[in-house]
Amino acid sequence: MALNEQDISAALQQQVALAYADKTPLNICAGNTKAFYGRTATGQTLDVSGHAGIVSYEPTELVLTARAGTPLSDIESALAAHGQMLAFEPPHWGVSATIGGTIACNLSGPRRVYTGSARDFLLGCHMINGKGELLHFGGEVMKNVAGYDAARLMAGAMGTLGVLLDVSLKVLPMPQHKLTLVRSGLSAADALTLMNQLAGQSLPLSASAWIDGNLYLRFSGAASTIASVQHNQPGEVLENDEDFWLSIRELQHPFFASKQPLWCIAMPQVAAQPDVAGDWLIEWGGAQRWLRSDAAAEDIRAQVSVLGGHATLFHGGDKSGAVFQPLTAGIWQLHQRLKKAFDPAGILNPSRMYENL
């Protein structure tokens, strides 16, 4: 007889409690589409894929609650039926992608810098901590509790602080219309300048990307607004632009096919280009920059740090060392304290983000 969702939740809680008692490391997974992201996972598999399904969805309230193992495709289909969307436009990186993995990695797509990140739309969550205790943070409204916003700590923690059971998210209406314009013959520096200039104007920008001398700008909004943009902004209209933005979001653009190490670099939007040899793709108005390069990790991180950014080794290269930017002493202590508070035995996704965490 199939287990109901309450039974599955209780079974997961029991597994974590037993692992805590035995000090057994656990590798939390569901769709497993993010297995390549971060350091190599270790430990006994804790499969949360069976804990799936939309718990509640109120289109008029723009709030959806779903279990962590729910496929992203199911959530997006339910929202689309009501003309709504996950505003942070999350990447899937595989057909089995789940909402839990998306939130755990705090993944956002092309729309991120213009509407917000996955973390920004997380209202609350149920989770199991490293002792097997069931915890509930936040709620289903934007302002529901004073004090620490503990739910959003789970976004980007990659399962190192707890096992997500369900999440509540703010959703938004889909734009009525969209348009992508392409401006050619721009250097990276020129593209960055232009992206920042446009960001300071009252324009309905919803995505931007520069690659191979071409700057792609997506605008989304009402029909009259988009018509005005097309009339006043230069650039060639990109037909079937959905395919282009999908290729960027899902890392399927030819740029990402190289066997060279791939770095994801977070930068201030106004920062200059780092002086690192390689091929670049710039998106998020300059806030996210992709680099294909054989340069040494130390050199890349040094150049990026000077400009106020940090670099993550995404694909290729040596992942036995630091994958994410090394933390300062103060920030490292905060991470250790949080880990100890939520997972005192260190059994949840150990060293997935940083060694010895």
Where are the domains positioned within the chain?
A: 5-173+338-342, 177-258+260-315
Stretch (H or E) spanning 55:
strand 54-58
> 5-173+338-342: what CATH class?
alpha beta
Q: Are 264 and 243 in contact, with CB atoms under 8 Å apart?
A: no
286: closest CA among 308, 317, 301?
308
The pLDDT of residue 140: 64
CA atoms within 13 A on the CB side of 262: 15
Phi, psi for 118 (deg, rounded to 5): -55, -45
The Cα 346–Cα 20 span in angstroms is 9
Query: Which pair of structure tokens corresponds to residue 190?
Result: 């020129």
The pLDDT of residue 1: 35
Three-state DSSP at 45 gives strand
Q: Are 233 and 197 in contact, with CB atoms under 8 Å apart?
A: no
The pLDDT of residue 146: 46
Distances (CA, A) of 122 to 81, 90, 133: 21, 13, 21
The list of the chain residues with pLDDT below 50 reads 1-2, 142, 144-147
The pLDDT of residue 318: 82
- Total-model pTM: 0.93
The pLDDT of residue 320: 80
63: closest CA among 154, 174, 151, 141?
141
The pLDDT of residue 6: 76
* Dihedral Cα 112, 115, 118, 121, nearest 10 deg: 180
The pLDDT of residue 141: 53
Beta strands 26-29 and 44-47, pairing class: parallel
Distances (CA, A) of 136 to 175, 205, 331, 341: 33, 36, 25, 15
The pLDDT of residue 148: 58
71: which DSSP letter? B
Q: Which residue has the tokens 């979001």?
A: 249
Tell me, what amino acid is at 150? A
